[in-house]
Structure formats: structure tokens, C-alpha cells
Amino acid sequence: MRGGAGAIAGAPRIGRSVACLAAAFLTLLVPVAAAEAEPAKLPDAVTRQASVRLSDGKALAYQVTAGALPVEGPGGELLGEVSYTAYVAAGQDRGRRPVTFAFNGGPGASSVFLHIGLLGPKRVDFAIAGSTPSDATPLLDNPDTWLAFTDLVFVDPVGTGFSKAHVAPDTARKHFFGTDQDADYLSGFVARWLAKNGRMASPKYLVGESYAGIRVPKMAYRLVKVEGVAISGIILLSPMLNTVMSAEPDISPLPWVSRLPSMAATHLERQGKLTDAAIRDVEDYARGEYIRDLMLGREDPAAAVRAADKVADLIGLPTEMVRRLGGRVSNLVYTRELEKAKGVFVSAYDPVVTNFDPYPFSAERQGDDAILQGSIAPLTSSIVHYVTQDIGWKPENTYMTLNIPLNRSWESKEGLESASDLRKAMAMDGNMKLLISHGYTDLRTPYFASKLVFGQLPPMGDAGRARFTVYPGGHMFYSRADSRAAYMRDVRWAYSRGN
């Protein structure tokens, strides 16, 4: 996910432009030494005792710790701090109990989406049809928390959450804000947390959502190869595995092939006809006749018409419109046109969620995504209150749920892939499990793109140790109760010792 928004814990938010002008003026009046003062360090960690009632009715006692670990340079200099929230169940054998490190994506997203959206012992409903940013979003006990079977560490990369750099922007970019740097220092964080908390003997899992489909496989390979930390399982939700799937749309058919089944699933769901069998027919067409017709191009004008007519029927847009587009329908077009008659456009993250079109007479879609931007306010408010008031850890800096500038300046963002890291990590450990899961109607990271990548991974021993699953719903398919319940059954398989 992408974006930029946050809240300052324990202080009113000041207009950024006014604050920047004031800061620039004040630097002319203060001594150089004061102007160059290092950013304040994050406060010492805070630990609290709590409990949650699970879905089986039993109470689970645990301790929650909010804090940060430093990131140091070769000479021991402080480069930055990585904030985290860790949950450890009481009365467990910590040598045998799994510990899971959870990451969201972006790049530039904090861990809040997985933290209070799915895994943690506290949960808030968000990204559901009919919700608005100003709706009350109470933080309630989560009876489906993964804490029932694994300890949890939610990690906010530098530039997200309360995590921060302690060096100049150019130096921070060099150490933190790129694909390789990201996997490097976050792997170091995992190794350091394990050693500091005496958990090196525990089974270790990595969970990642969205862009973390790039981050987590790279971390898993680096952890075992460089840090000496073996990973028992990788769990990816709605992951991006290969940005090449979106490259060269004027030449390559892959962007259109990978996206078509999710658009078709959206149309089928609106008709109450979404089934696995119906989707398999779309997949067969996408990687068969559709890709052939797209590749024929001007050599066979009838092929373009044939493809456009079929696509229009599958996704529910007017035939003439799809013909004008050559059978290639982008997310911007689809999310704008699907409900245009109602004066709304649908979310690319889950098309059942809509918001009003602020420019209904514009030739192109303008406006924010109902889920991407719409979830910032409730999630930020909930997590800041929880960490600063309920847990009592009180950083003074801004909490960044989604960091737009970081995302836009990310190094090596194009042409990325993580399948090679998955291959190498799984080849080194024949017991490592892999679970990749998607929502059918996610247009942002379409499931078929990952399915095509997954299909090319060699078995490497027991083919059953890697699974690919799809559920009704979008990017956060777990916001739907039935999909969350089905997903939890598959997650428990990933943590089981057998197949």
C-alpha cells in the first residue's frame, strides 16, 4: 500500500508548511551547534500485562512491549531506530513456541494494517463497505488473534510508524530507503530482537502483506545466509512478487493477463456468481486465447475485436468502450467506469467499497481511493491511542501510517522480483513452509499475477510445503468474516509441524 499520513502522539498537529517556515527562520537565530542537534531518541521500552479471550472462550494472558531497537553503522554510530510492538504469551516454553515478525508494504507503510487488522490481540474493523474515515472505530479484543499459536512482533520500518532516521536525508536514503537496504537492516533487526529476547531457539516465521511480498522473501534468504537465522515459514498476504508483471503494458500482455481474472471476479461477485469454477474458466481464457489475441496485434485486426468483446463480457463494461481500448482495461478506467452512473468509483483494493467521484465530469478519474486513503484516519487514531495511552509508550514524533514521500523516492522500485529469493531460501531448508494468499477481487495486487509466479517455483522436495490460496474479498480479504475464518484454517497449517 502507498500513501502518507500520520498523527503526533500527545501533541496537536501543526501545519507542515508553517512549521517548516518557522524552523527555517529559527535556524538563522540559534547557534550552529543547536541547529545541528541530533534528533531525540525514542523512549525506553514499556511492558504491560494483559489478556484476551479467544474464540474457544479461553482467556490468554500475555505481555505487550512497545519500544525500539537501534540501527547502527559500521563504526557503531546511530543511524536510526526501528519501533516495534511485541506480544509474548504467558506460561509458554519460549524455546519451542514460534515467534512471528510481521511487516506491511508500501514501501512506506507501517505494520498497523496487520497489527490491528488481523494478527494482534486487539482489532479494529476497517476497509469495509459503507465505512467512512470519521466512523467510530473502537479497538476490541480479537478472538482470532494469532497470539493463540505464536508470539508476535510488529515491525515499523524506518520512516513509518514511530521509527525514525538519525542521519541526514541523503545518508538515510543510502542506509534505509531502497530494496536491498530495506532487507538488510530489517534482517538485522530480526536477528537482534531474537538475541536480545533469548528467542534464537524458537521456530521463526515472517509474515508480509503487499510490497512485503518483495521485502519478506529477500529477508528470509538473507537471514539464513548472512545472519544465521533459519526461518520455519513464510506467509504472504496479497503480495507483490514481481513488478515486471506491470511493466511495458504497450508491448507485454502480462499486465492485462494478470489483472483480467480479478476484474472478472468483481463482475461475477456483483452478480452473485463468483465460484472457483467460474474463475478457472477466466484463467484458462486469460493465459490462452486472450494472450494470443493480444500478441497478434496489427497482424490480425479481428483478434483485437474478438479480445475486446470477450473482455467486455467478462468484466461488465460496455463493448464499444473496451473496443476503443483494444481489450486492455486499466485499473483507473475500470474503477471509474464500473459505478459511474451512480456518481461513485470503486476501490482498487476491494471493489465493493466505493466513494463519491469529486470530479464526475472529468475525462479521467481524479480522487482518492476509498480504502487506501480512507483507512488512514481510523487506523492512525486507533494505533496512536493504543500505544501511547493503553500501553503507555509515548514517543513525541509523528506516527506515519503511510509515507508518500518515502514511497516516491524509493530506490530500485521498478523491475523488482522476489521469486528468486523464495527459490533460494526454500532450497536451503527443505522444511520451510510457504503460504501465499490473495483476495479474488484485489485489483491492486491481482491474485493471478502471483499465481503465475507461484506456478513456476520448482517443488524442491515435498510439493505440499508450499500452498497458494484465494478467498472472496480484496487486498484486505480478511476484513470479511467468512474469508478470515477460512484463511485462519490455512494459517494454522503453516504453523503445524506436518503437512
Segment 130-183, tens digit of pLDDT = 555 666 678 899 999 999 999 999 999 999 999 999 999 999 999 999 999 999
Rounded Cα distance, 43 and 34, in Å: 21
What is the model's pLDDT at position 183? Answer: 95
pLDDT of the residue at 410: 87
Mean pLDDT along residues 49-70: 96
Q: Does residue 197 surpass a pLDDT of 70?
A: yes
Q: What share of the chain has pLDDT > 90, as a percent?
A: 72
Kindly tell me the sign of the dihedral angle through the C-alpha atoms of 443, 250, 404, 417: positive
Mean pLDDT, rounded, of the chain: 88
The per-residue pLDDT for 14 is 29
Residue 29, pLDDT > 50, answer no
Within 316-362, residue ranges assigned H as helices are 319-324, 331-337
| 244, 449 Cβ separation under 8 angstroms | no
Q: Which of 306, 151, 238, 248 is nearest to 444 (CA)?
A: 238
What confidence score (pLDDT) does residue 134 get?
A: 63
DSSP letters for 421-487: HHHHHHHH-TT-EEEEEEETT-SSS-HHHHHHHHTTS---S-GGGEEEEEESSSTTGGGSHHHHHHH
Cα distance between residue 488 and residue 18, in whole Å: 47
Q: Is 305 helix (H, G, I), strand (E, B) or coil?
A: helix
Angle, alpha carbons 104-418-371 (nearest 5°): 30
Confidence of residue 10 (pLDDT cuts 50, 70, 90): very low
Secondary structure class of 284 (helix, strand, coil)? helix
Average pLDDT over residues 83-88: 98
| pLDDT surpassing 70 at residue 25 | no
- The pLDDT assigned to 432 comes to 96
C-alpha–C-alpha distance, residues 35 and 32, integer Å: 5
Q: What is the pLDDT of residue 376?
A: 85
Q: Residue 235: helix, strand or coil by DSSP?
A: strand
Average pLDDT (380-387) is: 94
pLDDT one-digit tens code per residue, 415-427: 688 999 999 999 9
pLDDT at 121: 97
Once rounded to an integer, what is the mean pLDDT over residues 360-380? 81
CATH topology of domain 46-243+375-495: Rossmann fold (3.40.50)
Q: Which residues contact 468 (CB under 8 A, 6 or more apart)?
A: 436, 437, 450, 451, 454
Residue 288 gets which letter from DSSP?
I
Say how far apart CA 158 and CA 171 lie, in whole Å.
13
Residue 15 confidence (pLDDT): 35
Among 63, 66, 35, residue whose Cα is nearest residue 50: 63
Delimit the CATH 3.40.50.1820 region(s) of the chain: 46-243+375-495
* Strands 466-471 and 164-165, bridge-based pairing: unpaired
pTM for the structure as a whole: 0.89
Per-residue model confidence (pLDDT) at position 251 = 73
Task: Give the residue, 332 or 136, on which the prediction is more confident.
Answer: 332
Average pLDDT over residues 67-71: 98
Residue 229 Cα to chain centre, angstroms: 23
Q: Is the pLDDT of residue 335 over 70?
A: yes
Number of CB atoms found within 10 A of residue 325's CB: 17
Determine contact, residues 238/418, Cβ cutoff 8 Å. Answer: no
Grid cell in block for residue 280: 478457472
Q: Which residues are registered as beta bridge partners of 84? A: 67, 155
Give the model's confidence band at 374: pLDDT under 50 very low, under 70 low, under 90 confident, else very high. Answer: confident
Sorting pLDDT into bands at 50, 70 and 90, what band is 244?
Answer: confident
Least confident residue range of 75-84, 184-193, 238-247: 238-247
Q: 252 or 41: whose pLDDT is higher?
A: 41
Positive or negative, the CA dihedral 249, 254, 256, 262 is negative
Helices (H), 63-202: 112-114, 169-175, 179-196
* pLDDT tens by residue, 346-366: 999 999 888 898 888 887 788
Strands (E) located in 106-255: 122-123, 140-141, 151-156, 164-165, 204-209, 233-237
Helix pair angle (276-285, 301-315), 10° resolution: 160
Structure confidence at residue 95 (pLDDT): 87
**CA dist 434 to 63, 237, 384, 429, 447, Å?**
28, 11, 32, 12, 16
Is the per-residue pLDDT at 118 higher than 90? yes
12 falls in which pLDDT band (50, 70, 90)? very low
Highest mean pLDDT pick, 51-65, 334-348, 357-371: 51-65
Q: Cell match 489478556: residue?
A: 51
What is the DSSP-derived secondary structure letter of residue 390? I
Q: What is the pLDDT of residues 89-98, one digit of tens each?
A: 999 998 899 9
* Residue 172 half-sphere exposure toward CB, CA atoms < 13 A: 15
For residue 165, what pLDDT is reported?
Answer: 95
Ranking 137-151, 234-248, 323-337 by mean pLDDT, the lowest is 234-248
